[in-house]
């Protein structure tokens, strides 16, 4: 890779929020900080999970800048942003003529990130086939470009992020189990902002400084009533939503008007929450009814197939793994051990 290209993937730690801002003061986030310390000098893959806007990319960048790979590139690939057909060549590169339009050899991001960190965002969106090729890289450290024969060594540390429940995706057959265990060596689950509301004042201060600098305005003070309201909102969009709120406050220069808007939001939300609470029992009843119907259907299919779970899964047009998951979910026994037509509880 040319020196220029590699330079463009360097992270300046000054562009990241300070450590105290990133991790704040709650026990859960402090534990994540300690876990990061344990893996800084290793090459272990890291899986960062958390709702959208909780700072997964910020944490991945932080980890890279503190690791012994900090002088090498940090390369990000958003698996959801690129069509599946192009993702493989983006990641592993291609050789001339490997497909229409490939008119020259091209390195992939694994090569560009050499000796550094490869950040695979939204990993849950990666196709099954490509998951297999990524598994090969993680297992053997090697890969080939599309259309190439030469085996290349990939010397990258892989950090993955996702806002879906990967464990559940494994259970429903949407994500490879073998890859899951490879990438989930060190697991960091970031808190939602509603679970770290004590950090809101410090985060506001940081965003006020950052945005004022960006918009070339003087740094405003938030009035205490507004600050109190900010702590009442649950921030479904997490830190990104708070950051946007502060940007609007700075641009409009009127945190009181925005505070009033927030107050309405909080009140509407509270009204909604109590309505949802009332609806809760109805939802629970319909969930129960679905579960009863599902277990009856599965039980019938199991009996018809003499408790052969693979055949049953085929007949029900579901993966074997999903069937086991469903059995557990609806409380049916996992296997048949009885002699007189009754399944055992084990
Ligand atoms: N701890 C933090 N301190 C300051 N700013 C933060 C922090 N975490 C996130 N941000 C800011 O919030 C925004 C969202 O962060 P980021 O992109 O890392 O979240 P994400 O979890 O990757 O979101 P998504 O799931 O949508 O990709 C960014 O603008 C980022 O700068
Ligand atoms: Mg992200």
For residue 83, pLDDT beyond 80: yes
Note the pLDDT tens digit of each residue in 178-236: 999 999 999 999 999 999 999 999 999 999 999 888 888 777 778 788 888 889 888 88
Say yes or no: CB of residue 45 within 6 Å of ligand 1. no
The answer to whether 109 touches 90, Cβ cutoff 8 Å, is yes
Q: Which SS3 state, helix, strand or coil, does residue 120 take?
A: strand
Instruction: Give the up-direction half-sphere exposure of residue 1: CA atoms within 13 A in the CB hemisphere.
Output: 20
pTM of the model: 0.77
Give the model's pLDDT for residue 335.
56
- How far is Cα 284 from Cα 276, in angstroms, rounded to an integer? 12
Per-residue pLDDT reduced to its tens digit, 186-200? 999 999 999 999 999
Per-residue exposure over 84-106, b if at least 16 CB sit within 10 Å of its own CB, e if not: eeebbbbbbbbbeebeeebeeeb
Q: Which atom of ligand 1 lies closest to the CA of 242?
A: 12
The answer to whether domain 196-253 has CATH 1.10.8.60 is yes
CATH class (in words) of the domain with range 3-191: alpha beta
- Mean pLDDT is lowest, of 49-53, 265-269, 315-319, for 265-269
| Segment 2-16 mean pLDDT | 68
Q: What is the pLDDT of residue 163?
A: 92
pLDDT at 343 over 50: no
Tell which atom from ligand 1 comes closest to the C-alpha of 59.
18
Query: What pLDDT is stored for residue 324 in this prediction?
Result: 81
Question: Mutate which of 29, 193, 203, 239 to test ligand 1's pocket (most atoms within 8 Å of Cβ)?
Answer: 239
- Find, among 133, 131, 136, 137, the residue nearest to 180 by Cα: 131
Lowest average pLDDT, out of 54-58, 89-93, 118-122, 253-257, goes to 253-257
Distance 305 CA to ligand 1 centre (A): 50
Lowest mean pLDDT among 92-106, 125-139, 217-231, 269-283: 269-283
Nearest residue by C-alpha to atom 29 in ligand 1:
240
Distance 23 CA to ligand 1 centre (A): 12
- Ligand whose nearest atom lies closest to the CA of 203: 1
- pLDDT surpassing 90 at residue 295: no
Question: Rounded to the nearest 5°, which phi and psi values hold at 341?
Answer: 80, 5
DSSP sequence for 3-65: HHHHHTT---GGGSPPHHHHH-S-HHHHHHHHHHHHHTTS---EEEE-STTSSHHHHHHHHHH
The span from the CA of 278 to the CA of 286, in Å, is 14
The pLDDT score that the predictor gives to residue 339 is: 36
Nearest ligand to the CA of 63 is 1
Distance 326 CA to ligand 1 centre (A): 35
Minimum CA distance residue for ligand 1 atom 12: 240
Q: Give the pLDDT of residue 58.
A: 97
The total of other beta-carbon atoms located within 10 Å of residue 240's CB is 14
Residue 90 has pLDDT above 90, yes or no: yes
Average pLDDT of the chain is 84
- Determine the distance separating the centroid of ligand 1 and the alpha carbon of 22, expressed in angstroms: 9
pLDDT given at position 340: 37
Q: Which two tokens stand for residue 167?
A: 């464990």
Is the beta carbon of 61 within 6 A of some atom in ligand 1? no
- Ligand 1, from 53, 189, 242: best to mutate by most atoms within 8 Å of Cβ? 53
Contact call for residues 63 and 36 (beta carbons, < 8 A):
yes
**With a 6 A CB cut-off, is 266 part of the ligand 1 pocket?**
no
pLDDT > 50? residue 166: yes
Separation of alpha carbons 126 and 116, rounded Å:
21
Tell me which of 34-38, 159-163, 254-258 is least confident.
254-258
Long-range contacts formed by 230-235: CB under 8 A, 24+ apart: 230/200, 230/204, 230/262, 231/197, 231/200, 232/266, 233/262, 233/265, 233/266, 233/269, 234/193, 234/194, 234/269, 235/192, 235/193, 235/194
Task: Give dist(CA 177, CA 338) in Å, integer.
Answer: 31
Query: Which residue has the least CA distance to atom 23 on ligand 1?
Result: 53
pLDDT at 279: 61
pLDDT of residue 321: 80
Please tell me whether residue 251 adopts helix, strand or coil conformation: helix
Higher-confidence residue of 81 and 160: namely 160
Q: Is the pLDDT of residue 101 over 70?
A: no
Average pLDDT over residues 83-99: 85
Domain range annotation of the chain: 3-191, 196-253
Cβ-contact 130, 87 below 8 angstroms: yes
């Amino acid at each position: 890779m040319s020196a220029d290209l590699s330079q463009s993937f360097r992270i300046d730690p000054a562009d990241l929020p300070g450590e105290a801002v990133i991790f704040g003061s709650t026990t859960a986030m402090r534990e994540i900080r300690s876990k990061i310390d344990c893996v800084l000098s290793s090459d272990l893959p890291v899986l960062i999970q958390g709702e959208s806007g909780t700072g997964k990319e910020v944490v991945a960048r932080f980890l890279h800048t503190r690791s012994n790979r900090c002088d090498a590139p940090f390369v990000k690939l958003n698996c959801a942003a690129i069509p599946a057909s192009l993702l493989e060549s983006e990641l592993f590169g291609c050789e001339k003529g490997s497909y229409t339009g490939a008119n020259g050899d091209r390195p992939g991001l694994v090569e560009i990130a050499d000796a550094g960190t490869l950040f695979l965002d939204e990993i849950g969106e990666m196709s099954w086939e490509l998951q297999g090729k990524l598994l090969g890289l993680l297992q053997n450290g090697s890969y080939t470009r599309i259309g190439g024969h030469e085996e290349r060594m990939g010397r990258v540390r892989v950090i993955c992020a996702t806002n879906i429940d990967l464990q559940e995706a494994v259970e429903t057959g949407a994500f490879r189990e073998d890859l899951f265990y490879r990438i989930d060596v060190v697991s960091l689950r970031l808190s939602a902002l509603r679970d770290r509301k004590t950090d809101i004042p410090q985060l506001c201060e940081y965003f006020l400084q950052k945005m004022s600098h960006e918009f070339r305005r003087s740094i405003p003070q938030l009035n205490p009533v507004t600050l109190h309201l900010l702590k009442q909102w649950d921030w479904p969009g997490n830190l990104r939503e708070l950051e946007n709120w502060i940007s609007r406050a700075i641009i409009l220069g009127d945190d009181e008007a925005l505070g009033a808007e927030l107050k309405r939001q909080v009140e509407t939300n509270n009204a909604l929450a109590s309505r949802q609470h009332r609806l809760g029992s109805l939802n629970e009843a319909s969930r129960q009814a679905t579960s009863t119907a599902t277990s009856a259907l599965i039980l019938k299919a199991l009996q018809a197939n003499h408790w052969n779970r693979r055949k049953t899964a085929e007949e029900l047009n579901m993966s074997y793994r999903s069937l086991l998951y469903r059995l557990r979910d609806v409380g049916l026994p996992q296997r048949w051990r009885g002699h007189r037509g009754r399944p055992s509880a084990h």
